[in-house]
Amino acid sequence: PLMDRMEIIRLPGYSHQEKLEIANRYLWPRRLKEAGLTDRPLTLEADVIPHIIKRYTREAGVRQLEQMLGRLTRKIALHLAETATDEPVSPLVIRKVDLGEWLGIERFMPEEARKTLPLGVATGLAWTESGGDVLYVESTLLPGGSDLTITGHLGEVMQESAQAARSYLWSRAKSLGIDPAVFKDNGMHIHVPEGAIPKDGPSAGVTMATALSSLLLGIPVRKDTAMTGEISLSGLVLPVGGIKEKLLAAHRMGLRRILLPRANQKDLRDVPEAVRSEMEVVFVESIEDVLQHVLTHAPSFSVPGTAEPSQAEPTPTD
């Protein structure tokens, strides 16, 4: 009840480079001091902390990173105490290849975009509590019936986005070059992998519409392109939040081409220049815009509100 009296401060997640700077300047020296290792012969190779960030943490901030660095320094202190001698020793070198011995098995597998996208699959961007994430929306036809099945532990808003995407494509089937009968004679199944992870929000609407369009038009989606945006029932692409985190996730996965709602153009200023300069961002306003930019070859369809000139009408002359 007091929420409306409070000022809500939203802190965006850190980029990989920002985490690395924080770790090198503050977290690692602090953990060395706490473990009594400041004056001990110790060398940390330059690729160790970046590897810890990628393989041992998944977060918007640096708390897990600090915990992992603390675990590492404690293990080092124990090792030095157990192997202490009166003889001079060479500095202990901490290498990336030895992190498994210090920190255990890696918690996260390396992230990379899919090499190929079959028909009916599109790449989307999502915001989570641990930062941005890349998700894949898969779709398929089910002969018989006309129901829409949605799986992947999706919340109510995300399910409504799937329904809106299907309804829009059905209403615009002829102008998009889709046989309307396919909606009557086939059920459709939309699935978002990693079903154990809850997902919600409207920002996958554009991705769902794209996945279904790819399936129904028989045209694959470009594998180098990801997208985010809410879809309206009239086919408009509406703005969404978490743009910085989503672009950081896409960059981390090696995706360099992003489709964003035009209304989110102002949010690009929050994205670090080092990331922004390496990405091609395409702004879209409608699903037709999306399909023109994201399919491997552009479909031919008519734009709402336009029509070919009637042959019965006389052609104006000077």
At 194-212, the pLDDT tens digits run 755 677 789 999 999 999 9
Number of structural domains found in the chain: 2
- Is residue 242 domain-shared with residue 277, that is, in the same domain? yes
CATH number, residue 91? 1.10.8.60
Instruction: Give the model's pLDDT for residue 59.
Output: 86
Q: Give domain status of residue 305, yes or no.
A: no
Instruction: Give the model's pLDDT for residue 182.
Output: 93
Domain edge (last residue) among 103, 136, 151: 103
Q: Give domain status of residue 8, yes or no.
A: no
b/e map 44-61, b = 16+ CB within 10 Å: beeebbebbbbbbbeebe
**pLDDT < 50 stretches in the chain:** 304-318
DSSP string, 32-73: HHHTT-TTS-EEE-TTHHHHHHHHT---SSSHHHHHHHHHHH
pTM over 0.95: no
- Is residue 197 domain-shared with residue 97, that is, in the same domain? no
User: Of 205, 217, 122, which Cα lies nearest the Cα of 168?
Assistant: 205
3 state DSSP class of 100 = helix
User: In this structure, what DSSP letter does residue 305 have?
Assistant: T
Instruction: Give the model's pLDDT for residue 301.
Output: 64
- Is residue 198 domain-shared with residue 257, that is, in the same domain? yes
Q: Give domain status of residue 51, yes or no.
A: yes
Cα separations in angstroms, 72 against 48, 75, 99, 231, 278: 11, 5, 9, 46, 33
Instruction: Give the model's pLDDT for residue 306.
Output: 39
Instruction: Give the model's pLDDT for residue 85.
Output: 77
- Is residue 263 domain-shared with residue 141, that is, in the same domain? yes
Q: Give domain status of residue 175, yes or no.
A: yes
Q: Give domain status of residue 314, yes or no.
A: no
3 state DSSP class of 210 = helix
- Is residue 58 domain-shared with residue 147, that is, in the same domain? no
Tracing tokens 């390496």 back to the chain, one arrives at: 278
Instruction: Give the model's pLDDT for residue 313.
Output: 41
Residues of the domain holding 82: 16-103
Chain segment 31-78, per-residue pLDDT in tens:
999 999 988 888 999 999 999 999 999 888 899 999 999 999 999 999
Q: Give domain status of residue 9, yes or no.
A: no
User: Of 193, 190, 251, 260, which Cα lies nearest the Cα of 227?
Assistant: 260
- Is residue 96 domain-shared with residue 174, that is, in the same domain? no
The Cα 68–Cα 16 span in angstroms is: 16
Q: Which residues are catalytic?
A: 203, 246
- Is residue 197 domain-shared with residue 289, that is, in the same domain? yes
